[in-house]
Structure 1
């Protein structure tokens, strides 16, 4: 499954087995401080069949993914943050609010650019045959954005927007 727009997942409570796999579809995961991730289905002989073995190791690395997949142990929100599985940890009851804030921020950015860069990341992670292939795809995928959005953005920056840490759009 290839999703073509950014997805931000809000994780509250347990994201285990299929719930973990569903959260892995997101580009980012915002977890509440008491959230738990895991492959609890390990205990019952139920395999991951919705992309968990592919996406988890791409996000956290092979060693950490195998630790979660083979042991079925619970992973706290803080540990998930430290391994890159969660992008942000927020107080209980605030995951959806934070995920919505992120989405509202993303929709303010030039959309062609954000979606092309996102696409290039996924190509590099899952399809590139070499570093050179990934770099070539990034260039070819992004060069058209320069005309459509990049020149106007560079002019805004040259005019002072974004300087001194002021990034208000």
Structure 2
């Protein structure tokens, strides 16, 4: 465990496709976890509430609310190397599609016009404040590496992680 890179996979507003791509690495992922990576935080893969300082953090998802912004700023403070992972994190991704309608129209569609809610109120308490647009992580924090794709293909993830692991040895 001593020589392993302490790694966190941190999620903001996302669809979980990037995590599926990571899991699709199959045996390559298992080998990295056995020999080179200590996964200390990854909500979609394991139960954990928080993490301390890490060598590597992969941020997945765009910034769509104030909670996302807080989370990435906290992660940047804790991570020696920060990677923006996938199209959402790098460009706004899928969440940016809603931006062409505006925040108010999105909230109206989600809470007022959806058939499963009768006379739904748009919540304004105890929820994160939604931003006007989905933003890439790099608008809020310094990013060390950017991995493209929606999601990044498993061979690209493997090559990237292999190169990164060799360079920090």
Range class of TM-score, shorter chain: under 0.3
TM-score, normalised to structure 1's length? 0.24
Q: Rg: which structure is higher? A: 1
Looking at secondary structure, tell me which structure has more helix per residue.
Answer: 1
TM-score, normalised to structure 2's length? 0.24
Higher relative contact order (CA 8 A, sep 6+): 2
